[in-house]
Each structure stands twice: as structure tokens, then as C-alpha cells.
């Protein structure tokens, strides 16, 4: 058997309503910290998702400062602003509360408040020295899995994004409260849910770091997500479906944090970077051509996935089912529906071809011409 390593967050709490009892659940992870910086965004705050958590924390004697100005695709300026507010407040621990952007921001803020390593030195793989402040992450969408990954993605220029991937980014605790996801609109539920399925598919077919633990998690994730995605889209108040999606996204996050994503994410990044298409939607749109392209090199794992979720055990079975799901949940299928035209393809394809972090994980090598052809296919 090929040697491997597997890491994840050491303490996970999954319970409906857990956010309202955050003080009790998070207390071991906070290691005595009494001054908490909560990192979130205005959408989450406006929906009142934080209210119960804040009430509970304050009733238990915690002093809390809320930084709620995280934006999608967070730039460095947001990180620095949160760090400066946290420092002024005397924060002793950080709580990330929201979708991928607030959680990624919280990870980096906890590092910057806990050590004097400059942000610029942290980008890349395993460059973070730590230590960091105690960190608890609470997702309010079911997709990114960021609550259990060791990655944070930051926007560093007009269109460019950089990642920080290192073990100190694993939080001390992830708290899964499916009630927080009950109000997610159908379109976001669909796109983020398909993104979570992509995490599991890409982890299971990863060329470099695929391992028995990430494989088991990826298959469990796919079963959970496949069972609940359409139900959650059809009836957002279906608590069992919401819990299944949140758990499935977390399992997929554990899988891809150890066996990283490949060609689908590489093809999705320029849609976000250049056209601000949300991450989940970008992945959903580019998934079909990449699955078809990879099929010749990934017949066995695609077939295994398809069989595991009750389909005909072949790549054709998986491809047809992912197409059917995209149609059933009403997700966009074409780049032109997202305002992307033929003339944009060369620059996008160049960006993908230069992605030497993700392309080596893809089961089949992807050259510039292949990438152009795949974008053309879905124009
Ligand atoms: Fe993703």
C-alpha cells in the first residue's frame, strides 16, 4: 500500500441548534479565552443567524467583538482590517461564522493575531509557522467544507487569487448546525451542493494524494449529498435533507483537504477571478466537459462512484446522473448564460494551463488545447 498522511480537525460537533449553545460546545476548544473575535459577513448578520450564538456567549461571560465586513473572494485589505479590530479588542480566540469567505478569513486572522509572521510569507504550501489563536469554525452553507480544510483562498490582485495551505489552518473545532442552512435560497443550495460533490469526485480521482481514508470519506460524502441535494432544493425547510447536505459537505471537505481537487476546480477558477461567478456555480458549469474529458483515464474510479450511489457502475452512468441533477435543480449550463463570450476563452485557458497546483492532481493531463475545447463545448 502506498504510504500516506491524513489530517483533519480534531473536534467536530454536529447537532441542530448547536450555534445557540456555542459557549458550551466551544469551551474546550477556546482553551480559556474569554475575549472572542467573531468573523462573519453582513448577509449572515442581516439574516440574524448569529443572534442566538452571541446571546449565549455573552450570557456565559464571554466578551465578543463582531467583524462583519467580509466580502466574497476576500481581499487582503479585509484580513488586515479584521486583524486590526481584533488586536484593538484584545481578542484571545477567533470564531469564523458563515460561508467559505468568512471561514477562510477567520483562519488567516487567527494566524496573524497569534504570530508575527507576515501574510506575504504564508502563501503557498506548508509555509505557515504558527502559532495561531484558538479557532472555531461554523459553516452556514453546505458546500465549501472550509470548516475542516487547511486551506484559505485570498484575492491578492484585480483578478488573481492565492492560497495558503498548511496544517495550522485546521481549526480546533468545527460546529455543524444544519438549522443555520434552512434559509439558503434554492439556487445557492444547488450550486454549493454540486461543488461539494465535485470535492468528493476530485478527491476520489486525485492523482497524487488519493488515499484509503480520503476515499472512504469521498464515497460517504457522495452518497449523503446525492441522497439529499434534490430534496434540499425542492424544500429548503426539510431539516433532514439540510443536515445530510451539511454533513456530506464536511466529509467531502475532509477528503479533498488531504487529496486535493483537480481539473474541475482549475477550470472554475477563471470564472470566479475574471467574471465574479460564485465558486459553486463555476464548478457546476465546468463539471460536465471535464468529466467527459477525464472518462478515458478515470473509468474505474468514476464507475466505482456511480455504483456506490446506486447507478450503473460506469463513467457514463456518473456523467449522465450529474447532467440530470444539474437540470433538475435548475443550474446554468452555459458560459454564455454567465456573460462569458468566445473571445474570453483564450485568457481563461491560459490561466488554467498555468495552474501547476491543481492540474497535476487531475487524472488525465490537460493541455491548453484541451482546455479551450472544453470551454468551447459549454459556450
Ligand atoms: Fe470547491
Task: Find the CATH number of the domain harbouring 315.
Answer: 1.20.1090.10
Q: Which pLDDT value is given to residue 273? A: 85
In a domain, 272, yes or no: yes
* Judgement on whether residues 191 and 42 belong to the same structural domain of the protein: no
What count of other Cβ atoms lies within 10 Å of the Cβ of residue 10? 11
* Judgement on whether residues 27 and 135 belong to the same structural domain of the protein: yes
If you compute the radius of gyration of the chain from its CA atoms, what whole number of angstroms results?
Answer: 20
**Among 162, 181, 200, where does a domain finish?**
181
Alpha helix locations (H) across the chain? Answer: 22-30, 42-46, 51-59, 76-89, 100-114, 186-204, 212-234, 239-258, 263-275, 279-294, 299-308, 315-328, 345-353, 368-377
**Whole-angstrom Cα distance, residue 54 to residue 242?**
23
* Judgement on whether residues 191 and 171 belong to the same structural domain of the protein: no
Q: Give the distance (Å) from ligand 1 centre to CA of residue 28.
A: 30
In a domain, 2, yes or no: no
In a domain, 5, yes or no: no
Q: Report the CATH number that the domain containing residue 106 is assigned in CATH.
A: 3.40.50.1970
**Whole-angstrom Cα distance, residue 376 to residue 364?**
19
* Judgement on whether residues 128 and 250 belong to the same structural domain of the protein: no
Cell of 70: 467580509
Q: Give the distance (Å) from ligand 1 centre to CA of residue 260.
A: 10
* Judgement on whether residues 158 and 195 belong to the same structural domain of the protein: no
pLDDT tens, position by position, 84-114: 999 999 999 999 999 999 999 999 999 999 9
Bond into 131 cis (ω within 30): yes
**Whole-angstrom Cα distance, residue 302 to residue 316?**
8
* Judgement on whether residues 130 and 72 belong to the same structural domain of the protein: yes
pLDDT tens, position by position, 138-178: 999 999 999 999 999 998 877 778 889 999 999 999 999 99
* Judgement on whether residues 80 and 47 belong to the same structural domain of the protein: yes
* Judgement on whether residues 230 and 149 belong to the same structural domain of the protein: no
Torsion angle of the four alpha carbons 72, 262, 194, 227, in this order, in degrees rounded to the nearest 10? -140
In a domain, 1, yes or no: no
Q: What confidence category does residue 2 fall into, taking pLDDT thresholds of 50, 70 and 90?
A: confident
**Whole-angstrom Cα distance, residue 129 to residue 365?**
33
Phi, psi of 13 (to 5 degrees): -110, 125
CA-based nearest residue to 284, from 206, 229, 356, 204? 229
In a domain, 3, yes or no: no
Collapsing DSSP to helix, strand or coil, 2 comes out as coil
* Judgement on whether residues 17 and 126 belong to the same structural domain of the protein: yes
Count up the domains in the chain and report the number.
2
**Among 157, 181, 205, where does a domain finish?**
181
Q: Give the distance (Å) from ligand 1 centre to CA of residue 196.
A: 6
Q: Which pLDDT value is given to residue 87? A: 98
> CA geometry: angle at 243 spanning 240 and 248, to 5°?
125
* Judgement on whether residues 140 and 176 belong to the same structural domain of the protein: yes
In a domain, 223, yes or no: yes
Q: Which domain covers residue 71, as residue numbers?
A: 12-181
pLDDT tens, position by position, 270-297: 998 889 899 999 999 999 999 999 999 9
**Among 181, 212, 245, where does a domain finish?**
181
* Judgement on whether residues 171 and 261 belong to the same structural domain of the protein: no
Q: What angle, 0 to 180 degrees and rounded to 10, lies between the N-to-C axes of helices 279-294 and 186-204? A: 40
The protein residues having their C-beta less than 5 angstroms from ligand 1 (an ion) are 195
Q: Give the distance (Å) from ligand 1 centre to CA of residue 276.
A: 15
Q: Give the distance (Å) from ligand 1 centre to CA of residue 57.
A: 31
**Whole-angstrom Cα distance, residue 282 to residue 294?**
18
pLDDT tens, position by position, 180-239: 999 999 999 999 999 999 999 999 999 999 999 999 999 999 999 999 999 999 999 999
* Judgement on whether residues 310 and 225 belong to the same structural domain of the protein: yes
In a domain, 6, yes or no: no
Q: Give the distance (Å) from ligand 1 centre to CA of residue 92.
A: 30
Amino acid at each position: 500500500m502506498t504510504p500516506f498522511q491524513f489530517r483533519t480537525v480534531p473536534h467536530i460537533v454536529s447537532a441542530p441548534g448547536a450555534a445557540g449553545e456555542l459557549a458550551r460546545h466551544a469551551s474546550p476548544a477556546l482553551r480559556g479565552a474569554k475575549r472572542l473575535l467573531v468573523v462573519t459577513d453582513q448577509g449572515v448578520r442581516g439574516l440574524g443567524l448569529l443572534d442566538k450564538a452571541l446571546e449565549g456567549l455573552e450570557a456565559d461571560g464571554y466578551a465578543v467583538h463582531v467583524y462583519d465586513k467580509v466580502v466574497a473572494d476576500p481581499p487582503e485589505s479585509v484580513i488586515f482590517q479584521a486583524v486590526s479590530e481584533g488586536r484593538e479588542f484584545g481578542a484571545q480566540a477567533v470564531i469564523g461564522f458563515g460561508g467559505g469567505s468568512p471561514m477562510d478569513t477567520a483562519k488567516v486572522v487567527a494566524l496573524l493575531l497569534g504570530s508575527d509572521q507576515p501574510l506575504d510569507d504564508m502563501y503557498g504550501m506548508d509555509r505557515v509557522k504558527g502559532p495561531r489563536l484558538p479557532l472555531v469554525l461554523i459553516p452556514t452553507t453546505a458546500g465549501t467544507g472550509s470548516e475542516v480544510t487547511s486551506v484559505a483562498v485570498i484575492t491578492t490582485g484585480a483578478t488573481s487569487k492565492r492560497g495558503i495551505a498548511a496544517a495550522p489552518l485546521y481549526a480546533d473545532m468545527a460546529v455543524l448546525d444544519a438549522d443555520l442552512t434552512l434559509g439558503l435560497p434554492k439556487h445557492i443550495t444547488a450550486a454549493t451542493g454540486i461543488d461539494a460533490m465535485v470535492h468528493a469526485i476530485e478527491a476520489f480521482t486525485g492523482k497524487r494524494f488519493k488515499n484509503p481514508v480520503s476515499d472512504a470519506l469521498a464515497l460517504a460524502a457522495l452518497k449523503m449529498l446525492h441522497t439529499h441535494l434534490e430534496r434540499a432544493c425542492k424544500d429548503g425547510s426539510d431539516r433532514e435533507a439540510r443536515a445530510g447536505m451539511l454533513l456530506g459537505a464536511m466529509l467531502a471537505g475532509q477528503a479533498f483537504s488531504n487529496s486535493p481537487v483537480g481539473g474541475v476546480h482549475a477550470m472554475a477558477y477563471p470564472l470566479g477571478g475574471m467574471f465574479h461567478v460564485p465558486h459553486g456555480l463555476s464548478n457546476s458549469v465546468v463539471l460536465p466537459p471535464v468529466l467527459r474529458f477525464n472518462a478515458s483515464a478515470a473509468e474505474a474510479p468514476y464507475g466505482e462512484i456511480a455504483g456506490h450511489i446506486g447507478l450503473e457502475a460506469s463513467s457514463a452512468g456518473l456523467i449522465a446522473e450529474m447532467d440530470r441533477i444539474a437540470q433538475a435543480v435548475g443550474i446554468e449550463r452555459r458560459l454564455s448564460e454567465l456573460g462569458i463570450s468566445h473571445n474570453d476563452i483564450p485568457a481563461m485557458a491560459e490561466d488554467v494551463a498555468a495552474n501547476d497546483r491543481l492540474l497535476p492532481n487531475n487524472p488525465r493531463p490537460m493541455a491548453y488545447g484541451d482546455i479551450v475545447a472544453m470551454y468551447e463545448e459549454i459556450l
